[in-house]
Amino acid sequence: MIKRASKKHKRDSNVLAKYIVDEATGQIPSEKPVPPDTDKDPKAVKAGRLGGLKGGKARAEKLTSAQRRAIAKKAAKARWKKVSHQSS
């Protein structure tokens, strides 16, 4: 199995402490994304989610085994291509 490096770089404990203080005092913006205010109707959001959940199952039921196999091969190929680029 490939060992992947952490995406975040490791900081010296003093640098990390300063960063935490700066973030807490508002000297630098927080890395946490702020959810956007939305004017969407909650009922419409709920209905859309329900339709999305049903749609995947309905699509899977309509596929033939050959179609499912082709989709799986394409997905596996994409995953392996991604892994091979990371190990280079």
pLDDT digit string (tens) for the chain, length 88 residues: 566 666 666 668 888 888 888 888 888 876 666 566 678 888 888 888 888 888 888 888 999 999 999 999 999 999 998 777 665 5
pTM, 2 dp? 0.38
What is the predicted pLDDT for the residue at 32? Answer: 65
Q: What is the pLDDT of residue 71?
A: 94
Q: pLDDT at position 72, please? A: 94
Q: Residue 36 corresponds to which tokens in the numbers above?
A: 């956007």
Position 31 scores a pLDDT of: 67
C-alpha angle with apex 13: 4 to 25, nearest 5 degrees?
110
CA 42 to chain centre: 23
Strand ranges for the chain from DSSP E: none
Domain ranges for the chain, please list them: 60-88
SS3 category, 14: helix
Rounded Cα gap, residues 43 and 52, in angstroms: 14
